Every structure is written in structure tokens, then in C-alpha cells.
Homo-oligomer: A and B are copies of this chain.
Amino acid sequence: MPFAQIYMIEGRTEDMKRAVIEKVSAALVEATNAPKETVRVWITEVPNTNWGIAGVTAKDLGR
């Protein structure tokens, strides 16, 4: 621990997801002084049909 679960819109590149994992892991180590070996981060990608902003789907908003 600590662990982070990331929610983001589906469709980002593998490189961008790798960057999320690297940078969020580093941020957790910096902020908490936890050993890096104990950090876990996982990304849940949400399709734009399944994400609602103020009651409207991201797809209907053109995202």
C-alpha cells in the first residue's frame, strides 16, 4: 500500500497509460514515503457511452 485506482475515458494509448502508472506511483512514494515496492496502481477505462458529466454521456458531449 498505498494503492490507486484510476478511472479514465477509454482509448488512451498504451504509452499514456504507462505514464499514468509511473507518475502516479512516484507521486504516492513522494507524498507518503512508502516503499515503492508496495505501491500498486490500476486503471479502469470507462467507455464514453458509460461516463456521465452533469447527466450527459461523454459520447453525447463529443468526447
A28–B21 alpha-carbon span in the complex (Å): 9
Number of copies: 6
Give chain B residues whose Cβ lies under 8 Å from the Cβ of A51: 1, 21, 40-43
Closest residue of chain B to A43, judged by CB? B50
Q: Which 5 pairs across A and B sit closest by C-beta, in order of nearness?
A: A21-B52, A25-B55, A23-B27, A2-B8, A19-B31
20-36 of chain A: CB within 8 A of chain B? 20-28, 30-32, 34, 36
Give chain B residues whose Cβ lies under 8 Å from the Cβ of A31: 16, 19-20, 22-24
A37 to chain B, nearest CB (A): 5
Give chain B residues whose Cβ lies under 8 Å from the Cβ of A14: 49
